[in-house]
């Protein structure tokens, strides 16, 4: 059994310079004229067409004269206005490790050409059946390589992983549409939808995003302290003595007056990303803080989307809603409505965790 490894070629297009062919060309040519040759240079690699097109190919520039490129002989014919994109890398190499720490010591393949006629470059590991796969892009001329990719688990990605959600999103688009949507677009929309879902969930049920108790020690004369970077909303503050009494909240408009009265009990306030105490601490004291966390930023295929009862499917509807806006499709309202319905299901199912009663009433054994 072989493990399939693949890397997304479209990541090479992020921020890449491009132009267009100025005429029609047959296969086997070594000279191409562009609409504009600005930014193109000898020893650059260029993509003719779009990743995934049957006739897309990668060739190397040997010389540039204004808008005219001298290249290695082309394998396919290319029409006028075909997109020509500069690629920093033209090869891929795959690796294997036993755990999630990358090592270049165990390559699965040699450096292999980027597969221009596919959105992915694919390889197979026929030796290992467990562990993790990795990839990196490589420039055969400069011998420079990208950083390694995120880990590719041989056991497969979870259903709520970024990888699975992105695959489901791409599968809803046709080939032309996928060429207009970048990987950066997909990640941005995924994070935006996830953030909205988390915020909506926090409005009705905060037990999914409550962090572990945070300990904060004050310093004499210092009134304000930074929040933890993942903090969204303070839920409670209480002191660390044996009674662990809750510290009351005070509005900022009342701080000056409260600060001027000696003997007042300590209260806390919020100012931007800071939590403050009044009266100003005159000695070290420890307080415990309970807070809600922000939605984590999803940056790799290996990250998971954590929502109750596996209600992560609605995020795909949000991504398609954003894609419809960019593509000018007429199903925008349908996609947005599907996302909103998913949010309502998300909030409803989040309540059904501890068997609370559906209605209020007096229990039979109550003393009235």
CA distances to 33, 36, 38, 64 from 19, in Å: 10, 6, 9, 14
Predicted confidence at residue 359, as pLDDT, reads 45
| Token digits of residue 34 | 């562009």
Band of residue 29 on the pLDDT scale cut at 50, 70, 90: very high
Residue 363 has pLDDT above 70, yes or no: no
Band of residue 55 on the pLDDT scale cut at 50, 70, 90: very high
| Token digits of residue 305 | 């989307």
Band of residue 206 on the pLDDT scale cut at 50, 70, 90: confident
Band of residue 23 on the pLDDT scale cut at 50, 70, 90: very high
Band of residue 360 on the pLDDT scale cut at 50, 70, 90: very low
| Token digits of residue 361 | 């009433």
Close Cβ partners of 244 (under 8 Å, ≥ 6 residues apart):
238, 288
CA distances to 18, 69, 80 from 23, in Å: 16, 13, 4
DSSP E strands: which ranges in the chain? 3-8, 18-20, 31-33, 45-48, 57-65, 68-71, 83-87, 91-97, 112-113, 120-125, 132-138, 152-153, 214-217, 224-226, 231-239, 248-249, 267-271, 274-278, 286-293
Residue 362 has pLDDT above 80, yes or no: no
Predicted confidence at residue 162, as pLDDT, reads 92
Computed over every residue of the chain, the mean pLDDT equals: 90
For the entire predicted model, the pTM comes to 0.64
Phi, psi of 187 (to 5 degrees): -65, -40
Predicted confidence at residue 132, as pLDDT, reads 93
Mean pLDDT along residues 17-41 = 97
Question: Out of 113-117, 228-232, 241-245, 304-308, which region has the weakest mean confidence (pLDDT)?
Answer: 241-245
Predicted confidence at residue 199, as pLDDT, reads 87
Task: Kindly state the percentage of the chain with pLDDT values over 70.
Answer: 95
Domain range summary for the chain, segments of one domain joined by +: 3-8+90-156, 17-87, 171-204+295-349, 214-293
Predicted confidence at residue 355, as pLDDT, reads 53
Choice between 320 and 244, residue whose per-residue pLDDT is larger: 320
Q: Name the burial class of residue 361, with classes exposed (0-12), middle (13-18) and buried (19+) by CB atoms within 10 angstroms of its CB.
A: exposed
Choice between 1 and 282, residue whose per-residue pLDDT is larger: 282
Q: Distance between CA atoms of 5 and 95, rounded to whole angstroms?
A: 9
Model pLDDT for residues 123-151, shown as the tens digit of each residue: 999 999 999 999 999 999 999 999 999 88
Model pLDDT for residues 304-331, shown as the tens digit of each residue: 898 888 888 999 999 999 999 999 999 9
Domain 17-87 has CATH 2.40.30.240: yes
Model pLDDT for residues 329-359, shown as the tens digit of each residue: 999 999 999 999 999 988 887 765 555 554 4
Model pLDDT for residues 249-285, shown as the tens digit of each residue: 999 999 998 988 778 899 999 998 899 999 999 899 9
Model pLDDT for residues 83-103, shown as the tens digit of each residue: 999 999 999 999 999 998 999
Mean pLDDT along residues 109-125 = 96
Phi, psi of 220 (to 5 degrees): -55, 125
């Amino acid at each position: 059994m072989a493990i399939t490894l693949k890397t997304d070629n479209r990541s090479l297009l992020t921020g890449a310079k491009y132009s267009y062919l100025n005429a029609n060309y047959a296969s086997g040519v070594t000279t191409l004229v562009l609409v504009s040759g600005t930014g193109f240079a000898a020893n650059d690699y260029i993509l003719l067409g779009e990743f995934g097109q049957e006739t897309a190919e990668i060739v190397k520039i040997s010389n540039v004269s204004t808008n005219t490129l001298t290249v290695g002989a082309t394998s396919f014919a290319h029409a006028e206005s075909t997109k020509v994109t500069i690629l920093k890398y033209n090869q891929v190499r795959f690796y294997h490790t036993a755990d999630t720490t990358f090592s270049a010591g165990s390559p699965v393949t040699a450096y292999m050409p980027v597969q221009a006629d596919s959105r992915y470059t694919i390889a197979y590991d026929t030796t290992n059946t467990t562990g993790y796969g990795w990839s990196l892009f490589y420039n055969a001329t400069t011998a420079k390589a990208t950083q390694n990719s995120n880990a590719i688990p041989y056991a497969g990605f979870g259903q709520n992983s970024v990888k699975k959600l992105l695959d489901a999103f791409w599968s809803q688009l046709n080939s032309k549409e996928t060429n207009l949507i970048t990987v950066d677009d997909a990640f941005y929309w995924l994070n935006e939808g996830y953030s909205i879902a988390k915020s909506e969930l926090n409005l009705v049920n905060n037990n999914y995003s409550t962090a572990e108790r945070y300990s904060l020690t004050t310093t004499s004369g210092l009134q304000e302290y930074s929040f933890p970077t993942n903090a969204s909303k303070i839920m409670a503050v209480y002191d660390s003595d044996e009674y662990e009494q809750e510290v009351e909240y005070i509005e900022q408009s009342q701080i000056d007056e409260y600060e001027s009265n000696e003997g007042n009990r300590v209260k806390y306030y919020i100012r931007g990303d800071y939590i403050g105490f009044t009266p100003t601490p005159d000695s070290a004291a420890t307080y415990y803080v309970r807070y809600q966390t922000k939605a984590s930023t999803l940056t790799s295929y290996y990250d998971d989307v954590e929502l109750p009862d596996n209600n992560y499917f609605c995020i795909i509807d949000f991504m398609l809603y954003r894609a419809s806006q960019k593509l000018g499709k007429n199903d925008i309202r349908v996609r947005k409505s599907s996302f909103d319905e998913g949010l309502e299901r998300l909030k409803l199912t989040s309540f059904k965790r501890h068997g609370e009663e559906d209605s209020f009433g007096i229990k039979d054994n109550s003393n009235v």
